[in-house]
Amino acid sequence: MDLFEKNILESNRQLGRNGLTALNLRKLSGRKPDGIVILGMGGSNLPGEILRSVRRELGLGNLPVILWKDYDLPDIGEWRLKRPLYVFISFSGNTEEPVSGLAEFLKNKKRVPAVVAHGGKMESLARRHGLPLVLFPAADLNPRQYTGRMFYGLLEVLRASGLALRGESDFTGLSPARSRNAGRALARKLRNKVVVIYTDEGNRHLGYIWKIKLNETSKNLAFANILPEMNHNEIVGFERKGSAVAALFIHDRTGGRLEKRIKITQKILAEKGATVVPWCPRAGRPWSAPGGRSCSRTGRASTWPN
């Protein structure tokens, strides 16, 4: 068994609080932020993508979650936030964009940011300035394989700031091995193809996660978009290049106009020569057929490909 497969099969171990080390979180006590600003790049920003998509399930309602993927600090004036909480996330702790933002932030002594990292410059800055810090062991993983641990590190910060979270259960009992055969079959279908991943708005974060991990782990060109937006522009590109593309649809909705649109889109893309793969995120396996309805809500497997 190679290292990547081993890490995939053990990815469920990240879906809990074990292995995290928290320092100085008491400094966030009573903050009760009215917005979360998350600064990170690549795989280190995936926890923010997830948080933005599942904030209602966590009991955060419409709390603004602002993601910044650039140098320095974002201009958040338009949000009119009075108590924003800034969280800097970096797997290595040395990613230059969030490091530059943290250094800039520390020039302003009025607010206290939080850091989630493995080590590096960001850990050093956090320790030197006594900042709230959540650390995690890197083991033999890389950023795109540590989404779960970093996400739970982010939740530790939010909880410490006074936000009442719900539904953040420990999911370490899930079994990634149940999706092994389905994953291998999917890999064969995507091989030697440019992969485009389509989701509905509610699963946008899954599409982005799959895109990043196909890029970095598989060294494969992959892109993500949502429906119905892609029907208004991107679908036209299949007129000439359909056969070079594998279209992976990640969705679990049934009924309604969007479900009908998904079925029609799959049919059109298949007619243009694309390899169409409908994937059920709840079951961790393909649907029975394009537009099929055998997407079980039981035995949910990990939907975070490594």
> Above pLDDT 90, what percent of the chain?
64
Closest among 209, 170, 185, 146 to 15, alpha carbons compared: 170
The reply to whether 179-286 shares the fold of 3-160 is yes
| pTM value surpassing 0.85 | yes
Residue scoring higher pLDDT (98 or 303): 98
Residue 22 confidence (pLDDT): 96
CATH T-level topology, domain 179-286: Rossmann fold (3.40.50)
Neighbours of 178 (CB within 10 A): 16
- Report CA torsion sign: 71, 130, 85, 153: positive
CATH T-level topology, domain 3-160: Rossmann fold (3.40.50)
Alpha carbon distance 180, 43 (integer Å): 22
Is the pLDDT confidence value at 275 over 60?
Answer: yes
Q: In which band, very low, low, confident or very high, does the pLDDT at 175 lie, cut at 50, 70 and 90?
A: confident
Buried b / exposed e over 42-58, threshold 16 CB at 10 Å, is bbbbbbbbbbbbebeeb
**C-alpha distances in Å from residue 258, one per residue of 118, 170, 249:** 41, 32, 13
Rounded to 5°, the CA angle 22-26-31 comes to 120
Which tokens hold the place of 166?
């719900």
Model confidence over 61-83: pLDDT tens digits?
A: 999 999 999 999 999 999 999 99
Alpha carbon distance 248, 250 (integer Å): 6
Residue 292 confidence (pLDDT): 43
Model confidence over 191-227: pLDDT tens digits?
A: 999 999 999 988 899 999 999 989 988 899 999 999 9
Q: Which of 38-42, 107-111, 116-120, 299-303 has the lowest mean pLDDT?
A: 299-303
Mean pLDDT on 123-152: 87
Q: Which residues contact 290 (CB under 8 A, 6 or more apart)?
A: 263, 266, 267, 270, 276, 278
Residue 253 confidence (pLDDT): 64
DSSP assignment string, the chain: --HHHHHHHTGGGGSSSTT-EEESGGGGTT---SEEEEE--GGGGHHHHHHHHHTTTTT-TT--EEEE-SSS----GGG--SSEEEEEEESSS--HHHHHHHHHHTT-TTS--EEEESSHHHHHHHHHHT--EEE---TT--GGG-HHHHHHHHHHHHHHTT----S----TT--GGGGHHHHHHHHHHHTTSEEEEEE-GGGHHHHHHHHHHHHHTS---EEEEETTGGGGTGGGGHHHHGGGEEEEEE----SHHHHHHHHHHHHHHHHTT-EEEEEETTTTEE-SSTT-----SSSPPP----
Give residue limits of the domains in the chain. Answer: 3-160, 179-286
